[in-house]
Homo-oligomer: A and B are copies of this chain.
Amino acid sequence: MLKIGLDAMGGDFAPEAAVKGAVMALNELGADSHIVLFGDEAQIKAILAAENCNSDKIEIVHTTEVIEMGDHPAKAFQQKPNSSITVGFGYLAKGLIHGFASAGSTGAMMVGSMFAVKPIEGVIRPTISTVVPNIKGEPLMLLDVGLNVDCKPEVLCQYGLIGSIFAESALGIKNPRVALLNIGEEEAKGNAQSQAAYALMKAEAEKGKFNFVGNVESSYMFTGKIADVVVCDGFVGNTILKMVEGFYQINTRMGLTNPFWAAMNYENVGGTPVLGVNAPVTIGHGKSTPLAIKNMILSTERTISSNVTSKMQEAFKA
């Protein structure tokens, strides 16, 4: 049985949005998958009753505390041992659930990822990533999108391998094309960081570690012609992600909509996988709606069932 943990208390519209999202996910889950909700049992049961849901595929682990957005993430993680996030990570670390997702405190989710499930041995810095469709409707993976804002070239190079494994396993892209985000196509382009990262990634590619296709400029990212996985530091990745969000908002308000832009809506994105740690963790947008939660559950299920974690553990052992 595959157990997907969900923080029922996380997000601006919790617990309603979280529980409703779990109910929505039921129809699309694998036959062997269960959702484990961490949160206030009475509240959760009331929402499930209102939704006429009594599926045995939803389990509840009762928790009595909530890490609030204003809390200091590291302190709250320790000082609220009965919080939905802290208990959830306890279950994840013990293997009682196989992945954990939350639209709650990003900071607390990162604390749990780093200190409860811990980085994979050999990974210098774990990363958060985003998967959005390119103009052909194929998945495009971008990492890092905000965790590591001052990346050493060695860290960027590892993101190439991490992204490659995720794209192949969880996104089903065979021999994914990994590119370095840069401001020119040629090898010598870029800043000190990207020039050094290019050399390292090229060397890894020559050892057969991943399929490095060179630089990609942001103008070509979404064409699908160059790369499936785009590597950059967290400052640049977060800036790119926020530009996409900004233009999605602008286009929507201006009535310029189509399937490409609709797919950029965070509700459809399925959350942000934390990669390079010893278990699947997904962080959702604080404003997550039931639809966003549903997609986050399904993307977490996909990450679990594709054995991304063990593949990364194996790759970094070598």
Binding site for B on A (CB under 8 A): 135, 146, 149-150, 181, 183, 190-192, 194, 217-223, 233-236, 238-240, 242-243, 245-247, 249-251, 254, 256-258, 260-261
Contact = CB atoms under 8 A, between A and B. Distances in A.
A149 B250 contact: no
A242 B260 contact: no
16 contacts: A135-B250, A135-B254, A149-B190, A183-B238, A183-B239, A190-B235, A194-B235, A217-B242, A219-B242, A219-B246, A221-B246, A236-B239, A250-B260, A254-B258, A256-B256, A256-B257
A222 B235 contact: no
Nearest to A247: B247
A220 B236 contact: no
Contact of A246 (B218, B235, B261): B218
A307 to B, nearest CB: 32
A239 B218 contact: yes
A50 to B, nearest CB: 35
Contacts of A249: 219
Contacts of A223: 246, 250
B191 A150 contact: yes
Given A149-B191, A183-B146, A260-B254, A222 B236 contact: no
A187 to B, nearest CB: 15
A135 B150 CA distance: 32
A243 B219 CA distance: 5
A253 to B, nearest CB: 8
A258 B256 contact: yes
A245 B219 contact: yes
Most buried by B among A194, A218, A221: A218
Given A218-B239, A219-B242, 9 more contacts: A150-B192, A191-B235, A217-B242, A218-B240, A218-B242, A218-B243, A221-B246, A222-B246, A223-B246
A135 B61 CA distance: 48
Contacts of A194: 235
Nearest to A239: B218
A254 B222 CA distance: 13
Contacts of A233: 191
A269 to B, nearest CB: 15
A190 B260 CA distance: 30
A198 to B, nearest CB: 13
